[in-house]
Amino acid sequence: MDTLQVVATSQLESRCEDIPSGRKKLNLNAIPSQGTFLSIIDLDLTVDCNLRCRYCFKEKWSEHMEEQVAFDAIVWLLYASGPVEQLYVNFMGGEPMLRFPLIKRLVPFAKRRAWRVGKTIHFGITTNCTLVTDEVVDFWKQWGMGFHTSIDGTPEIQDHNRPTADRQGSSRLVEHAVPKILACRPMTMARSTVVPEGAGSLVDNYKYFRSLGYKNIGFATAGHDLWSEEAVATFEAEWSKLGDIVIDEYRAGRQVYLSGIDVVVEAIIRNERYQHLCGAGRGTVLIDIHGDIWPCHRWSKKAEGAWRIGNIYRQFDDAVRSQLDVPSQAKLVEEDCETCVAALVCSGGCPAENLEETGCPFKRHETACKLTRIITRVGQRVHDVLYGEGNELFMKQYYNRQEQAA
């Protein structure tokens, strides 16, 4: 245990009054003994949800994380992070806003505990927006929380894809919440899941998001084994139109962030392949409602426990984690990526998604590759047009930022 951890141990153990008492006993040795220090945890506060999204990958039942597990997970992170001083906790679910009373206690507790050991914890939340109130936004603002909003598109699309538990539409609830959210955090992302039958609605959904005030928009494809060639072709036509729209936005002096294109432009400027798509199983882990540790929130229990990294009350399995905590996940990808147009952008896709769709975390579904190539080609065109024109806003956003970072 290094000096920082010794200090953390002394200070943490001296103040236990605000952790709910219970029968579980946190194992402070259930932390990594090798590899990357952890800096991020996804925290499943519940597996319950008030929506019944048609494509959801998370199993649902009416069970919450016990309060003791939530508080213990924070303490566990302070130990598992070793010398890392900037830590991040993402509230997940289910719908984490079902646990707002717990969040109101947990965030101040975590901030105090981190401060006592010379660290800072930042909080974020992924929410379906249906439970957002003025009180919620005021709390987020007070504690500097960030968030993603899961919203699929126009009211017709939203109500079809993301009905409530009693099969009512959720769009009216979302529309009521979005202005409150954007007033607090203007760059909050509208994160939309695209299934095959929605491939032809990308432009309409983008325009709808812009009408609500979003400047940061992300479309994520799902269910790749269900995509037909026709759906892929439709996606390509829509994504090409989105490229044209982004070009027009910049020409008009309106800054927008469309995640796929944004990533491509940054990769072109960086001119170096990403070795990891994300930090899952490396700097990031999920702690589920029982205290079990998984690579990230996308990991499904369909994996039959083979990817469970341990439990905060028992042990940490370095051997399981080492399968993902490697110098380069890109080098483990089974596809021949070197000559692919998306080589700079794609490091092999989402490991959890790959595992579900192909049975291997380092093997992508053929359709996922096709869609990534489409996104890349359009992103390349957007870059070349705006760079060629010397668009002032574009250059300031991407090239000036890169020069400052260097």
Does the CA dihedral 26-142-49-197 come out positive or negative? negative
pLDDT band at 30 (very low <50, low <70, confident <90, very high): very high
pLDDT exceeds cutoff 70 at 160 = yes
DSSP 233-264: HHHHHHHHHHHHHHHHHHHTT---EEHHHHHH
For the chain, the C-alpha Rg in angstroms (whole number) is: 22
Q: How confident is the model at residue 313 (pLDDT cuts 50, 70, 90)?
A: very high
Q: In this structure, are residues 95 and 128 in contact, taking their beta carbons and an 8 Å threshold? A: yes
pLDDT surpassing 90 at residue 405:
no
Nearest to 8 by CA among 120, 121, 117: 117
Which element (helix H / strand E) includes 40? strand 40-44
pLDDT bucket at 15, cuts 50 / 70 / 90 = very low
pLDDT of 19 > 80? The answer is: no
Q: In the prediction, which pLDDT does 402 show?
A: 53
pLDDT in tens, 87-107: 999 999 899 999 999 999 999
| pLDDT reading at 336 higher than 80 | no
Q: Of 283, 223, 224, whose CA–CA distance to 80 is shortest?
A: 283
